[in-house]
Amino acid sequence: MDLPNTTSFITGAAQGIGLGIARAIAREGGRLAIADIDDAALGEAAAELAELTEVAAFHLDVRDREAYARVADEAEARLGPVMVLCNNAGLAFPERPADMTYELWDLALDINLGGVVNGVQTFLPRMLRRGGPAHIVNTASAAGLIGAGVGPMYTSSKFAVVGLSESLRHQLETAGHPVGVTVLCPGGVASNIARSSRSLVASQHGGPELRRAQDRIDQLMPRIDAAVARFGVPTDTVGDLVIRAVRANDLYVLTDRAGIDLVTARTRAILSAMPETGPVEGDLDNVRAAVHEP
C-alpha cells in the first residue's frame, strides 16, 4: 500500500528502530501518531518529525489496554483513521538460566508479546470495519527465527511475535481482508535498546530480581554499545526496509545476513526430523479448509 496522506501509529517511536520507521514514513508524506513511555525522548522525536509532517505524540505503556484504547481514539480524532500500525515497543536484557524469575518472565512477555497483542486488538477491528487497505508491522527479532545466542525469555517472546504475525497474515488473506502483515526481524541495529531497556527495568517497582537485571545491563552496556556502533545497521536504514515491505506487502523484513547459517541449520534440522511417511501438504490443506469453512 502507499503511504502518502495516510496515518500511521507507531509504538516505541521515541528512539531507535521506532524513530527510524517514523522518519521513513514522514519522508513519504504520511501523518504520524507516535507513542512511547519515555516522555523526554518522545518530545524530542515529535519536535524533529514535526519539521517533516503532521505529528501527534502520546505517552503510552503498551501493557495498559485501557490507555491504549484512549490513545487510539485521540490519535484518530486528531489525524484520521490509522491505516498503518507499527507494534515496535519492546525491551531486551541479557539473561542467563540462573537469572530467570517469574517477575522477569512477566516483564518480557507483557511488553514484547503483550504490547503487540494489545496493538492488534486495539486497531485491527477498526481496520476491518472500515474495509480499506491497511497494514500491521510487528517488530520481532532475528532471535524470533533462531533459538541461539540470546536468552529464553527474550527469544520466546520474539518467536511468539513471528508466529502471531504469520498466522494473522494467513487468516486475513484467507478471509479476503485487505490488511497486510509484516514481521520485522532485526539483527544487529545501531539503536540504544539496551539503554532504554535499562531505564524501563529501573522504573519498575520490583524486587531484587529486577535490580539484578539492571546491574547486568550496566555491566554489559559498554560492550553492547561498542558492538552496535561497529556492526549495527543504522535505524534509518531499517525504517526504509520497513517502508519497502509495506509497499510490497512482504511478510518478513530482515536487516542483515548474520544469522543465515543458524537459520539454515535450524530449517535442516526440522526437515530431517519429519517422518518419511504421513500426511502431506495437500492433506493438511483439506484439514485447514474443514476447520475454517463457514
Domain ranges within the chain, ordered by starting residue: 7-292
In degrees, rounded to 5, the angle at the alpha carbon of residue 139 between the alpha carbons of residues 134 and 143 is: 145
Looking at residue 89, what is its pLDDT? 95
Asked if residues 112 and 91 have their Cβ atoms less than 8 Å apart, the reply is yes
**Residue 246 grid coordinates:** 509495506
**For the whole model, what pTM was predicted?**
0.88
Asked if residues 219 and 212 have their Cβ atoms less than 8 Å apart, the reply is no
Which pLDDT tens digit goes with each residue over 118-168?
999 999 999 999 999 999 999 999 999 998 777 898 899 999 999 999 999
Single out the residue of 111, 130, 135 nearest to residue 60, CA to CA.
Answer: 111
Phi, then psi, of 275 in degrees rounded to 5: -65, 155
DSSP states of 52-118 as a string? TS-EEEEE--TT-HHHHHHHHHHHHHHH--EEEEEE---------GGG--HHHHHHHHHHHTHHHHH
Looking at residue 198, what is its pLDDT? 46
Per-residue pLDDT of the chain (294 residues; tens, 9 = 90+): 889 999 999 999 999 999 999 999 999 999 999 999 999 999 999 999 999 999 999 999 999 999 999 999 999 999 999 999 999 999 877 667 777 888 889 989 999 999 999 999 999 999 999 999 999 999 999 999 998 777 898 899 999 999 999 999 999 999 999 999 999 999 887 766 555 544 555 555 555 665 666 566 566 556 655 656 667 799 999 999 999 999 999 999 999 988 899 899 999 999 999 998 777 666 666 666 666 665
Pairing of strands 55-59, 31-36: parallel
Residue 144 DSSP code: G
Sign of the alpha-carbon dihedral angle for 161, 66, 132, 35 = negative
For the annotated catalytic residues, the residue numbers are 154
CATH 3.40.50.720 fits 7-292, yes or no: yes
Which pLDDT tens digit goes with each residue over 92-132?
776 677 778 888 899 899 999 999 999 999 999 999 999 99
